[in-house]
Amino acid sequence: MFEITYAEALNESVFRFRIRAPRVAKKVLPGQFLILRVDERGERVPFTVSDYDRKSGEVEIIFQTVGATTMKLSEKRAGDVLCDVVGPLGNATEYGNAERICVIGGGLGCAIALPQAKALHRAGKQVDIIAGFRCRDLIILEKEMRENCRDLLIYTDDGSNGNKGLVTDGLRALAAEKHYDLVIAIGPVIMMKFVCLLTKELELPTIVSLNPIMIDGTGMCGGCRVTVGGVTRFACVDGPDFDGHQVDFDELLRRNRTYTEFEKERTAAHQCRIGLE
Amino acid sequence: MPNLQPNQTPVAEQSGEVRRHNFDEVSLGYTLDEAINEAQRCLNCKDPRCVKACPVNVKIPQFIEKLAQGDLSGAYEVITETNALPAVCGRVCPQENQCEGSCVRAIKGESVAIGRLERFVADHAPKTVSQAAPISSGKRVAIVGSGPAGLACAGDLNRAGIDVTVFEAFHTAGGVLVYGIPEFRLPKAIVQKEVKALQARGVKFEFDAVIGRAESVDELLCDFDAVFLGTGAGLPQFMNIPGESLIGVLSANEYLTRCNLMKAYRDDYDTPIIRAKHVAVIGGGNVAMDAARSALRLGALSVTIVYRRSAEELPARKEEVKHAKEEGVGFSFLTAPLEILGDDTGSVRALSCRKMTLGEPDASGRRRPVPLPDSEFTIDADCVIVAIGTTPNPLISSTTDGLDADQRGRLIVAEHSTATTKKGVFAGGDAVTGAATVILAMGAGKQGARDILDYLND
């Protein structure tokens, strides 16, 4: 059993949990993920590790309620336990010799982009962050992001924070003034796709972190296969980071819809049960 | 005087029409009378060919003789001298290629139903409650993977007084016995019983432990005197034909894991699974049969096995093929997939194939399938399950210095041994042979235990 030591709602649909999972905390590096099961009958769901404390044996995840399992998870409180937490899984992000890096996060992706920015910032690299959200109320981690970079640009789709635009607008603006060795883009697939189209045009090497459907996280099911540079790769063991200019994003968008219908039914059923209990 | 009845004593089964709608076990097993009747068909040969044909040389005539006398405990003792998992092997061994395939009774009539008798003994013999074995040696061994190889190795080392810890990546023990083989062929309660017995005897299990990512093999060697790798062959192969990334195309590993390990067939579990109407399963082994029969049980209206050779070359157990046919699985033999076709939403709509014919025998001794010109046709399907085989997972070999694997990812071991190229590290089962059978893996686990004991005593 794995104890939740801290639970916080960052907004009405995004939550930050710390979980005691010493085996994961001992080895995990930025870019790696874990898989958890809420209870004995739960599915296995992957989450990127957003922070960790090797001494206390805790890891942090930040997640959004998107389906039945994340809803069930969001109802847990500090002191509750999870049935299984396994990891670290996937490969740690490789930054190469990059000195000047632009980290781009979209929505919940900021939670995964932040540990990257933090690690690079602490290593003395020059880091800028561009973050995009749908509206002001959904902005998360602003303080932490600001503490871990030189320039932080936050955009909202509706302009409710006074800065209407897309992360690609920010990148175009920053790239006009500064040179970057590397762009790291993490967020919705559609955002990563458009960031990569732009960085290809700007000739900026770009890493994306993919989070497709998976079960085991060890290369056993192949559910997470993505086409990268025309070759089939397993995101769980070959990734989750890939060269963004090589990823077939349209295929990934399609594959991520595999269980949409099932998820709709489950989510509705879960909401019904909540009402009845 | 032996029972000269030429055919095997029939065993009660759920009818095909009933069982294609449920996940309960197909065969109901012998009653005591039936088992004794069948046991009396054994001629107790002086030079028993069945024993030689068994990968772990179970003393078959001896256990059958005890059973014929009604001595179930005695029969169980004889089997477990060499077989750690009789309730499992009685159900899933390819007996027709092993013990039963070499039975003299098969020359005129049918072989003795050795598998069914083994299962009967394992299911019904009164067992003494397992007690913690004393850890007398002061030695500690880590076993990676809790499939048949790991469990067998753990059992034998525990009996020899070794302190054993089994590391398992999943949340449940059993490996392929729980994620791969369906409930209707091997009830999971049977595997659980074996695991519980090992735990009662003092074998420790660490779940959710992915060795190679969390602890490395080298770290294990700091805490343990030796390591046994029974990590199986879990990496699914795809065909590399167009359309394999469409929605509705999945590996048999994914489909079966969702269904068996994650219990997607039950409404009280959260695991999603595709409920397709028309399913094409590519491959002809046990895994293909398992996937096809699971698809029927999950509500498919039609399921077709697509196999590029003919019925005679099917590598699956005979019984599984027979059961699949009875349940209504269709077979398209001499058929090779060319492309998976999608609709405008990116979902599968059909499998494009061509007909094959059999040419000269290839390296495997089976006749090589050769394409027939202008024979293209399509099979309508909204789900395509790829069951063309698996290879060992590279997670451990790629993260362990000094541990060598061949080009197909199989760990390299010394001849007639389980010793790998790394000192103190042993390996056996599918991780070494590539995908094979439960009993070969179990045999390798037992050999691993012997090799480790020799190594520790040196």
Same-domain check for residues A72 and A162 = no
The tens digit of pLDDT for each residue in B287-330 reads 999 999 999 999 999 999 999 999 999 999 998 999 999 999 99
Q: Would you tell me how many other CB atoms lie within 10 Å of the CB of residue A122?
A: 10
Q: Are A265 and A247 spatial neighbours (Cβ–Cβ below 8 Å)?
A: no
Same-domain check for residues A158 and A226 = yes
Enter the DSSP assignment of A255.
H
The total of structural domains in chain A comes to 2
* pLDDT tier at B65, thresholds 50, 70, 90: very high
The tens digit of pLDDT for each residue in B195-238 reads 998 898 899 999 999 999 999 999 999 999 999 999 999 899 99
What span, in angstroms and rounded, lies between the C-alpha atoms of B407 and B152?
Answer: 27
Same-domain check for residues A7 and A68 = yes
Same-domain check for residues A77 and A105 = no
Same-domain check for residues A217 and A106 = yes
Q: Kindly report whether the global pTM for this prediction surpasses the value 0.80.
A: yes
C-alpha distances in Å from residue B179, one per residue of A212, A213, B107, B157:
21, 18, 37, 25
Q: Judging by beta carbons within 10 Å of its beta carbon (0-12, 13-18, 19+), is residue A133 exposed, middle or buried?
A: buried
Cβ-proximal residues to B437 (8 Å cutoff; 6+ apart), any chain: B55, B92, B93, B94
Would you mind telling me the total number of residues written for chain A in this entry?
Answer: 277
Instruction: Of A23, A80, A90, give the one whose Cα is nearest residue A52.
Output: A23
Write out the DSSP string of B195-259. HHHHHHTT-EEE-S--TTTSS-HHHHHHH-SEEEE-----EE-----TTTTSBTEEEHHHHHIII
Q: From B243, which residue of chain A is nearest by alpha-carbon distance?
A: A251
What span, in angstroms and rounded, lies between the C-alpha atoms of B456 and B458?
Answer: 6
Does residue B367 register a pLDDT over 90?
no
pLDDT of residue B28: 94
B25-124 and B239-386 in the same fold: no
Q: What is the CATH number of the domain that holds A66?
A: 2.40.30.10
Contacts of A84 in chain B (CB under 8 A): 171, 207-208
Side chain identity, residue A61: I
What span, in angstroms and rounded, lies between the C-alpha atoms of B257 and A219?
Answer: 13
The tens digit of pLDDT for each residue in B134-186 reads 777 789 999 999 999 999 999 999 989 999 999 999 999 999 999 999 999 99
Q: Would you tell me how many other CB atoms lie within 10 Å of the CB of residue B414?
A: 11
Q: What is the CATH number of the domain that holds A170?
A: 3.40.50.80
Contact A89 B248 (CB under 8 A): no
The residue that leads in pLDDT, A60 or A270, is: A60
Containing domain of residue A178, as a range? 100-256
pLDDT of residue A276: 47
C-alpha distances in Å from residue A155, one per residue of A110, A138, A150, B382, B406:
12, 11, 17, 42, 51
Provide the pairing of β-strand B335-342 with B348-361.
antiparallel
Same-domain check for residues A170 and A54 = no
Identify whether A158 is part of a domain.
Answer: yes
B207, B257, B270 ranked by CB distance to A215: nearest? B257
Identify whether A66 is part of a domain.
Answer: yes
Identify whether A266 is part of a domain.
Answer: no
Does residue A84 register a pLDDT over 60?
yes
pLDDT of residue A275: 46
Identify whether A216 is part of a domain.
Answer: yes
pLDDT of residue B129: 63
Token reading at A6: 């801290």
Q: In what order do the strands lie in the sheet with A45-48?
A: A45-48, A33-37, A84-89
The tens digit of pLDDT for each residue in B111-143 reads 999 999 999 999 998 877 666 777 777 899 999
Instruction: Give A65 to chain B, closest Cα distance, Å.
Output: 15
Same-domain check for residues A106 and A10 = no
User: Roughly how many angstroms between the first and final C-alpha of chain B, as a whole number?
Assistant: 51
pLDDT of residue A277: 41
Identify whether A95 is part of a domain.
Answer: no
Same-domain check for residues A183 and A223 = yes
Longest CA–CA span in chain B (Å) reads 70
The tens digit of pLDDT for each residue in B399-424 reads 899 999 999 899 999 999 999 999 99
> What average pLDDT does the segment A237-247 reach?
93
Output the CA torsion A144→A148→A150→A153 (10° steps): -40
Chain B window 125-184: which residues touch A at a Cβ cutoff of 8 Å?
A: 169-171, 179
Provide the pairing of β-strand A152-156 with A58-64.
unpaired
Same-domain check for residues A119 and A40 = no
A220, A258, A262 ranked by CB distance to B235: nearest? A220
User: Which domain-ending residue is among A33, A63, A89?
Assistant: A89
Write out the DSSP string of B89-107. HHHHS-GGGTTGGG-GGGT
Q: From A218, which residue of chain B is nearest by alpha-carbon distance?
A: B395
What span, in angstroms and rounded, lies between the C-alpha atoms of A80 and A64?
Answer: 19
The tens digit of pLDDT for each residue in A179-218 reads 999 999 999 999 999 999 999 999 999 999 998 887 888 8
Q: B73-95: string of b/e by CB count within 10 Å (b at 16+)?
A: ebbbebbbebbbbbbbbbbbbbb
What span, in angstroms and rounded, lies between the C-alpha atoms of A140 and B168?
Answer: 37
Identify whether A33 is part of a domain.
Answer: yes
The tens digit of pLDDT for each residue in B354-365 reads 999 999 888 878
Q: From B344, which residue of chain A is nearest by alpha-carbon distance?
A: A254
Architecture of domain B25-124: Orthogonal Bundle (1.10)
Test the A interface: residue of B213, B217, B257, B298 with most A CBs within 10 Å: B213
- What percentage of chain B has pLDDT greater than the value 90? 79
Contact B270 A218 (CB under 8 A): no
B239-386 domain in CATH 3.50.50.60?
Answer: yes
Same-domain check for residues A76 and A144 = no
Same-domain check for residues A106 and A207 = yes
Instruction: Of B53, B74, B52, give the one whose Cα is nearest residue B63.
Output: B74
Q: Judging by beta carbons within 10 Å of its beta carbon (0-12, 13-18, 19+), is residue A22 exposed, middle or buried?
A: middle
B267 close to A (CB below 8 A): no
pLDDT of residue A271: 62
> What average pLDDT does the segment A232-249 reach?
92
Identify whether A118 is part of a domain.
Answer: yes
Test the A interface: residue of B263, B267, B271, B345 with most A CBs within 10 Å: B271
> What average pLDDT does the segment B16-41 reach?
94
Please name the helix (run of DSSP H) or strand (run of DSSP E) that holds residue B303, with its range, or none. strand B302-306
Contact A41 B268 (CB under 8 A): yes
Instruction: Give A145 to chain B, closest Cα distance, Å.
Output: 29
Instruction: Of B387, B350, B345, B241, give the one whose Cα is nearest residue A251.
Output: B345
Task: Name the class of domain B140-234+390-457.
Answer: alpha beta
Same-domain check for residues A85 and A105 = no
What ranges do the domains of chain B cover?
25-124, 140-234+390-457, 239-386
A122 close to B (CB below 8 A): no
pLDDT of residue A263: 72
The residue that leads in pLDDT, A258 or B48, is: B48
What span, in angstroms and rounded, lies between the C-alpha atoms of A144 and B395?
Answer: 34
